[in-house]
Chain A
Amino acid sequence: DQQVKQNSPSLSVQEGRISILNCDYTNSMFDYFLWYKKYPAEGPTFLISISSIKDKNEDGRFTVFLNKSAKHLSLHIVPSQPGDSAVYFCAASVKTGANNLFFGTGTRLTVIP
């Protein structure tokens, strides 16, 4: 009953190239989406979010795209840097500030120097 799915457990990208991490969801009530980054032995840290009223949100090298009809979102990192190597979690909730965030299983990104 995983409502948020990240089907690629891992991704390797050359430094300087684009990283694209994908996330699918099944609950049409989800209205707010976030990406978190996690380094080993640390807690997740917030990266970027998007509300369903938008289809794109950008913050520096990070851009999140939302396709509501396909129930799909993606995180683009351009250009990728070795320090971006981490596990990336997609999360969703029924509204901004809802108490229950539903997390995906994560994608491990490795950026090769």
Chain B
Amino acid sequence: NAGVTQTPKFRILKIGQSMTLQCAQDMNHNYMYWYRQDPGMGLKLIYYSVGAGITDKGEVPNGYNVSRSTTEDFPLRLELAAPSQTSVYFCASRSGANTGELFFGEGSRLTVL
């Protein structure tokens, strides 16, 4: 069972570079999420999607974009990387609106220098 798969696991970017964090799930979940976790802080929601073609902002969306063209994939795009985006990024999914249980990927550690 793959569950939620994130790539890459580690990445170093220079200021101003762009990149995409990939997230795929094989559980046929409609709901998908991107969180970031800064050192000593709780996870904060960046963007989420309730189904293919539908995305919405979370608590900290600035500097990021997302798309959801399929049920399986939910990539997170950083257009102009800034040091403030140095963080660990977690993708998650859940099966429906009546459960709070999220299934998380292993995380992607991003450093912007």
Contact = CB atoms under 8 A, between A and B. Distances in A.
Interface of A: 2, 4, 32, 34, 36, 41-46, 49, 89, 91, 93, 96-106
Contact of A99 (B56, B90, B99, B106): B56
Given A41-B107, A49-B100, 20 more contacts: A2-B41, A32-B100, A36-B104, A44-B102, A46-B103, A91-B42, A91-B43, A93-B100, A96-B98, A97-B98, A97-B100, A99-B45, A99-B48, A99-B50, A101-B100, A103-B35, A103-B42, A105-B41, A105-B42, A106-B42
A49 B100 CA distance: 8
A89 B98 contact: no
A43 B92 contact: yes
B104 A99 contact: no
Which of the four size classes fits the interface of chain B? 20 to 34
B45 A100 contact: yes
A2 B59 CA distance: 12
Contact of A89 (B42, B97, B103, B107): B42
B94 to A, nearest CB: 8
A80 B71 CA distance: 39
30 contacts: A2-B42, A4-B42, A34-B100, A34-B101, A41-B106, A41-B107, A42-B107, A43-B92, A44-B43, A44-B102, A45-B104, A46-B101, A46-B102, A89-B43, A91-B42, A91-B43, A91-B100, A97-B96, A97-B97, A97-B98, A99-B31, A99-B33, A99-B45, A99-B56, A99-B58, A100-B58, A101-B45, A101-B100, A103-B35, A105-B40
Contacts of B103: 46
A36 to B, nearest CB: 8
Contact of B101 (A49, A89, A102, A103): A49
A4, A34, A89, A105 — most chain B CB neighbours (10 Å)? A105
Contacts of A43: 4, 90, 92, 104-107
Contact of B43 (A93, A98, A103): A103
A44 B104 contact: yes
